[in-house]
Every structure is written in structure tokens, then in C-alpha cells.
Structure 1
Amino acid sequence: MKTALITGANVGIGLATARALARKGINLILLCRNKEKGQEALATIQRINPAVTVELLIADLSDLDSIRRAVQEVKLKHQKLDILINNAGYSPDRIEFVDNVEKSFYANHIGHFVLTYHLLDLLKAAGEARIINLSSAAYALGKASRFFQRNPTMSIMSAYGDGKLANVLFTKELAKRYADSGITAYAVHPGVVNSGFGSNFTGAFGFMMGLARPFMRSPERGAETSIYLATAPIATLTKLDGKAGGSGGYFADSAPKQLRHTDLTNRQADDLWTKSLAYV
């Protein structure tokens, strides 16, 4: 049986993804920040399919020590990992900093980078493994020149956009570096999902999110692309190479989409990787 690790698996898109993969007979490792909510999610998923193994890991993606401890726990129990879904997303309601880096960028990119980097050996051991990074159309608001910079005057949407742009660049670089290791990587825009994102926004952004919420798609609908990329035959995904899809591609509604951003270059992807290694 295959095993998938999903971050932020206790709520929203992450929980919907975990439920769907359990139904497909995939063993699950749920990485959650909140132990109580994680235990509730674990019990829910076990009821859906008692035949699969469901494990709970507690880690905070803005706390690198907790991530390293979680990875060691995985390595003690598992010889391989088939699917890694970097799903968890942090939405800021104010600008804060961790180690002089804006907190949402830290949690949305750096935390996932460190987690992924330390799991690469298990992913290689699977023979054919997939990494799925939840990005967003908000990548268009990001700027690579702001990465790793302390800028107290930036807006919360710019900060969020920086992390989502980094998710796309990280995916691009993963696909290039590990093409010969049996690892493929995909970035996902789940759509505008009523998953609780933006519930902590205030002011104009909070007002706009409140207006938009009745028109948002469900977490189950938002999870569809991640589920597709996790379970579609690899031959199907490989055929998409060269068509804005395949490994390194950006997907929405279970189909590859063109990306338009001046910072989406090989140089920026390599630079992001190099600077992120300092946190490993």
C-alpha cells in the first residue's frame, strides 16, 4: 500500500484530501499543529476506511525544530514515502516575523522546504514518488525581491503572495533537481475555497472575504486537483510534460495552467533553493 503525508490535514482542503485518499486505500500520516484537532481528524478518517493506517504527527511549520522532530518520527516507522502533500497554509492578519522573516512566508515556504528536504530519502526510496505543493493564484501578488527580507510596511496580501510564489518556484526547482530520482513535483491552485482562509482578516480584506464566502467552493471541490495529482497514473501526468504541465507544472481544476509572472525563472528558482538551504 502507498503512504501519503499531508500537512494541515485536520481541516479544510487537507482533511478533504485525507478522506479521499483513505477511501482509495492509501495509508496516511497527518501532520497537524493542533493535537486535539488532529486526533479528531484521525478518528474521522479511520471510520471512513478501517483498513488503512492513519498516524498523527504534531509539528508547527513556523518552528523548524518541531519539523525535524516530526521527520525523525516518520523515519523511525517508515522505509519509504510515496506522496507528500504540502497543503497547510498560514494566512496572516498582521505582519509578524520569525527569525527576521515574515511569518506567512516562513510557514508557507521555509517550513515546507525543510520538511520536504529531510524527507527526500524516503521519497527516493519509493521508486516513484510525488510532491504536491498547494500554491494559489495569489502567486501573482508575490515578488521574489521581497523573499527573506524584513519589511514591516508590506501588506498582508503581498506577504501571502510571496509565499505562494515561492511554492511555485520550489516546485519548479524540485522537478529539475530530482527528475532522475523518481520524484515528480506539482503546484496546485485549489480555487477560492471556503476552508477558513481569511477568517482572521480585518478591515477591507475581511469585508471582501465575508462578501465572497457564500460563492466559494467547498473543501471537497478544492481538494480535487491534489487528489488527481496524487492518484492519476504517472504515465498520464508524464504526457503533460512540455504542455505547461507534468512535473514542475502548475495545476487548477485537475488540468495544467499557464503561469505568467516575470519572477518565474530558472534563476529565481535556483536562488530560492540556495537561500532556503540555510534553514535546513
Structure 2
Amino acid sequence: MELAKRGAKVILACRDRKKGDAVARQIRIKTTNEEIYSYHLDLSSLVAIKEFVNDFTSREPFLHILINNAAYMGPKATTEDGYERTFGVNYLGHFYLTYLLQDRLKRCASSRVINVISDSYTKATLDFEDLAMTKYDIYKAYARSKLALIFFTGEAARRWMSSHVLLYGVHPGMVCTDLLRNWPGLMGNILRTTGRILFKSPEDGCQTIVYCAVANEIKAQTGKYLENCQLIKVKKAALDKDMAQKLWELSLHLCKLPAEPKTDIEVKSIGKPEVAADGKDEDRKLK
């Protein structure tokens, strides 16, 4: 909604096409911006992701901003390709989508990729020998997927820096969305009820995402992480370059993509950003 208000052409990539069309129609009415469209995208299927990219690139000549915001949090399940669903949707699907769109992003440089992360990553470990998470826990699975996104943000920033594709990881805080709809039992009911009272509204929760999409003062901060329109530090373990490279290589393999050389490029900030005081300026991907 916020980007549409600014006059951006917005593509909603949605698993449920009918709901996506309805949301796009509502945004067009509320903002009077007619350039709001809906595409079908199922991040739990590598085939569906490839089909979306082919459809998108055949019709859309430009891609300046990619916001990776879709998420699953619920009982143990698998993707169409047999991967643990939380990892497969929240991380691997976004990796594959972004990777396939990199040529379009590079052509439209300086372009931006915004990965929606979470401070839950501090509770996560990434065991490459147990991607199926045999001892499944809803929260730990979600946290692991967000840790993987942090690794991805840093590694992609290093690899694509020379192409002027900028990457940011955004922790929006606790936001009242339908993410918790699949959490079963009493705990799920408690979280959904308290969330409506205590969590941020989607309008407030999206502000840092919008800030990363449009702010000029953070162009030099590729590979960094933000909350409340401010740079934040992540734990040292989440900045492990060897782990990030190993995850990148594994992701290429899982997505049946060709291997790439390792990178030892260091991402360095250029100056200190002037962060807006208020940052004023959903639930799916906006491109």
C-alpha cells in the first residue's frame, strides 16, 4: 500500500491468485494507482517459482525492488520438492526466486532486495546434516529459516556488490498478520489473541521495509540489517562467512542450479547513513 501511494508499479506475487486479485483491486481503489497487479507464485514449489519468473520476465521489463516477505509458520510439512516446509518456503523459495531474477535486478541497478528477517534467529542453529529437522519445533523451524535469510542477505550482498544490487535484512518487529494462523492448539490461540492487542499493525510494521526500498541514505549499507528504520547489529554467529558460503552452495544444489566460485569480497559501508527520524514513508511480495 505504501509503495502504491508513492506511485510505484507494484506486483503482488500470491499463492492464492483470487485473493491476490482482490487485494490488488482494493489497493487500486484506495490509492487511485492503476499500476497494481497480481501474479500467481507458490514458494513451496521450485517448478511454480520458475514458471512465475518466466511469466514475470516475459511481461515486465523492469524490476527495481524485490521484497521477500512471504512466510510459513505451522505444523511440520514438506514442500512439493520434499523439503521441510518452513525452510523451503521462508528461505529456499526466496533464494531460488531471487537467484532467477538476478539478471533483471542487475539490469535495473541500482536495484534493491529486501529480505524480511526476525530476531528469532538468535534461537536458531543451522545443521546441514538435518535439514528435515527430525525433532521438529514450530518456533525453532521458523527461527532457522530466518537465520538462513540473514546468511543469504550477507552472501548475496558480497557476490552482487559489483553489479549494484543492494540487499537489506529487515526485522519488522512483532506485527499482527495471519502468520500465526497455522499454529495449532492453545498456544496458537493465545498468540493470535494477544497479537491483535499487543503487536504492531501491518501499516506500522511495514515502515522499515518501505524505508529500505526508497531511502537514498542507505545505498552504501548493502548487506546490513535494520529495525525501526535504524541499522542494527546481528550476532556474530549470523555473520559467519564460511557458513554463508556453505549455505549458498547447498542452496544451489537443492535448487538444481550450477555451482559458483566462492567469494572473499568484503562489503564495507561508505560513510554513516543519515537515518530518518520517523521513517514514514503487505503480507506478500512487492516488486
Common fold by TM > 0.5: yes
Q: In structure 1, what is the equivalent of residue 100 of structure 2? A: 118
Q: Quick one: distance in 1 between partners of 2:130 and 2:110? A: 32
Deviation at 1:108, TM superposition (A): 0.4
Q: In structure 1, what is the equivalent of residue 76 of structure 2? A: 95
Deviation at 1:47, TM superposition (A): 1.5
1:5-154 matches, within 5 Å, as: 19-92=1-74, 94-98=75-79, 99-145=81-127, 149-154=131-136
| Alignment check: 8 A CA contact 2:21 2:37 kept | no
Indicate the RMSD between aligned Cα atoms, in angstroms: 1.7
Q: Quick one: distance in 2 between partners of 1:264 and 1:198? A: 28
| Alignment check: 8 A CA contact 2:166 2:219 kept | no
- Which digits, 9 at most, give the CA deviation of each residue in 1:65-110, with x for residues without a partner? 1111110111111222100000111112x11223442111000011
Pick closer, same or farther for the CA change 1:67–1:100 going to 2, 3 Å.
Answer: closer
- Of 233, 241, 250 in structure 2, the residue corresponding to residue 275 of structure 1 is 250
- Of 226, 231, 239 in structure 1, the residue corresponding to residue 214 of structure 2 is 231
Deviation at 1:215, TM superposition (A): 0.6
Q: In structure 2, what is the equivalent of residue 15 of structure 1? A: none
- Of 127, 137, 145 in structure 2, the residue corresponding to residue 155 of structure 1 is 137
Pick closer, same or farther for the CA change 1:52–1:121 going to 2, 3 Å.
Answer: farther
Which amino acid in 1 is paired with 2:124? G
Q: In structure 2, what is the equivalent of residue 221 of structure 1? A: 204
Q: In structure 1, what is the equivalent of residue 263 of structure 2? A: none
2:223 paired with 1:248: yes
Deviation at 1:146, TM superposition (A): 5.0
Counterpart secondary structure, 2:115: strand
- Which digits, 9 at most, give the CA deviation of each residue in 1:24-76, with x for residues without a partner? 01101110000111011110121133444122110110011111111011111
Higher RCO, 1 vs 2 (CA within 8 Å, ≥6 residues apart): 2
Q: Quick one: distance in 2 between partners of 1:274 and 1:211? A: 41
Q: In structure 2, what is the equivalent of residue 16 of structure 1? A: none
Q: Quick one: distance in 2 between partners of 1:207 and 1:46? A: 33
Q: In structure 2, what is the equivalent of residue 176 of structure 1? A: 158
- Which digits, 9 at most, give the CA deviation of each residue in 1:239-276, with x for residues without a partner? 5xxxxxx1111111111111115243111111111111
2:218 paired with 1:257: no
Deviates more, 1:257-266 or 1:122-131: 257-266
Pick closer, same or farther for the CA change 1:249–1:205 going to 2, 3 Å.
Answer: farther
Equivalences, count: 253
Q: % of aligned pairs identical?
A: 32
Q: Quick one: distance in 2 between partners of 1:177 and 1:171? A: 10
Deviation at 1:204, TM superposition (A): 5.5
| Alignment check: 8 A CA contact 1:173 1:269 kept | yes
Deviation at 1:202, TM superposition (A): 2.4
Task: Return the TM-score normalized by structure 1.
Answer: 0.85
Q: Quick one: distance in 2 between partners of 1:262 and 1:86? A: 23
